Amino acid sequence: MKKFIALFLSLLMVLTLVSCSKSEEKPVSDFEWTRQGYFTDEDGDIVSITWMDDENMMEEDKGWYVGIMAGDLTTGSKLDLAGETLHGNLIPSYEEGELIATVSEEGENGIVLEIEGGNTYHLTPMEMPEAKIFINIKTEGCGFFDYAKESEGLVFDEDYPATSAVVNLAEAETYILEARPEEGNKFVKWTKNGEDLSTESIITETFDADAEYVAVFEPAE
């Protein structure tokens, strides 16, 4: 499950770079892409497709973010519409390297992800457990966070920390959250539903009702 969460986080980490730096404008297609969510195949490979338009993002960075977890490959980034496909580099701009991918529709609800010079994945929608509790975790300012179930223990993911995440639960569970500032910034506090919660960077919370947690950062003096 932690690896599955890491796939989602690898996509969402881009938000920090969007809010703290400038990106080049990308071309936009008139084609309307509609397939999103999690997709899988018989080998257990997972691809996620998520529309992202966070209010802190620059307009040109809003769009479709695609992530893949297949074997030892876990990465994700924004892909642009190209004709009737999503196309681009799956390696995010803050990392070196190139992994050119094209995603197209297949059948009534499936997708095909083709890696240039590599594998082709045929995937269908992944069944997810029915969620009753929705937890939104975000950042304000330049910083990251990571989270895990208390029963599993939290080991901060240095490679793929998050700036935004959603935890959907079928029943109440206790989680650990840890916030870390980006270089040149400092952690200020956690808030819950707009109210101050804690000035400790590591907190333990029982998620038993819909809530929004925000890790607040500001420039260091």
Q: Are residues 6 and 92 in the same domain?
A: yes
Q: Considering Cα of 91, then 48, then 214, then 171, what sign does the dihedral take? A: negative
Domain closes at, from 93, 109, 125: 125
Q: Considering Cα of 159, then 168, then 137, then 175, what sign does the dihedral take? A: negative
Tell me the pLDDT tens digit for each residue of 20-34. Answer: 443 444 445 567 898
Which residue segment(s) compose the domain that 180 sits in? Answer: 133-219
Local structure of residue 4 (DSSP, 8 states): H
pLDDT at residue number 143: 94
pLDDT band at 124 (very low <50, low <70, confident <90, very high): very high
Q: Are residues 175 and 158 in the same domain?
A: yes
Q: Are residues 208 and 155 in the same domain?
A: yes
Q: Are residues 108 and 24 in the same domain?
A: yes
Local structure of residue 184 (DSSP, 8 states): T
pLDDT at residue number 109: 94
Domain closes at, from 95, 125, 155: 125
Q: How many CA atoms lie within 13 A of 196 on its CB side?
A: 5
Query: φ and ψ at 208, to 5 degrees?
Result: -125, 0
Enclosing H/E stretch for 63? strand 63-70
Please answer whether residues 57 and 129 qualify as being in contact, where contact means their C-beta atoms are separated by less than 8 angstroms. Answer: no
Q: What pTM does this model have?
A: 0.57
| Owner of token pair 């496909």 | 85
Dist. CA 86–CA 104, nearest whole Å: 7
Arithmetic mean of pLDDT, 58-82: 88
- How many independent structural domains does the chain possess? 2
Q: Are residues 120 and 138 in the same domain?
A: no
| Owner of token pair 């804690």 | 198
Rounded to the nearest 5 degrees, what angle is found at the Cα of 159, between the Cα atoms of 17 and 206?
90
Q: How many CB atoms lie within 10 A of CB 205?
A: 20
Q: Are residues 9 and 43 in the same domain?
A: yes
Domain closes at, from 125, 157, 178: 125
Arithmetic mean of pLDDT, 6-23: 40
Average pLDDT taken over every residue of the chain? 85
